[in-house]
Amino acid sequence: MPKKKPKKGNPEVNKELDGFNIKINEFGEITSNFEVDKLNEFLNENVEDKKLRESEEEKESGKDDKAE
């Protein structure tokens, strides 16, 4: 199989994350140019947590079963 060619240029990102860069160093540590708190705040606002949604659905369906 042929190897994938690396893409040139920067990927398209949300305007709030413009300039975001993340790398893994030789020790396996993740290094970034953004503060972790700022990144977590962005993710909390813009990404839905599937695990939380599923647990809420289970609670709602469990309440309906008990009512019957």
pLDDT digits (tens, 9 = 90+) for 41-62: 998 898 888 887 777 777 777 7
Query: Can you give the pLDDT at residue 68?
Result: 46
- pLDDT, mean of residues 7-21: 83
Listed residue (42, 37, 40, 36) closest to 17, CA to CA: 42
- pLDDT, mean of residues 20-32: 91
pLDDT band at 18; cut points 50, 70, 90: confident
Mean pLDDT of the chain: 82
Task: Give the pair of three-digit tokens for residue 37.
Answer: 């708190």
User: Domain residue spans in the chain?
Assistant: 19-67
Query: Can you give the pLDDT at residue 25?
Result: 93
Distances, alpha carbon 40 to alpha carbons 25, 44, 50, in Å = 21, 6, 16
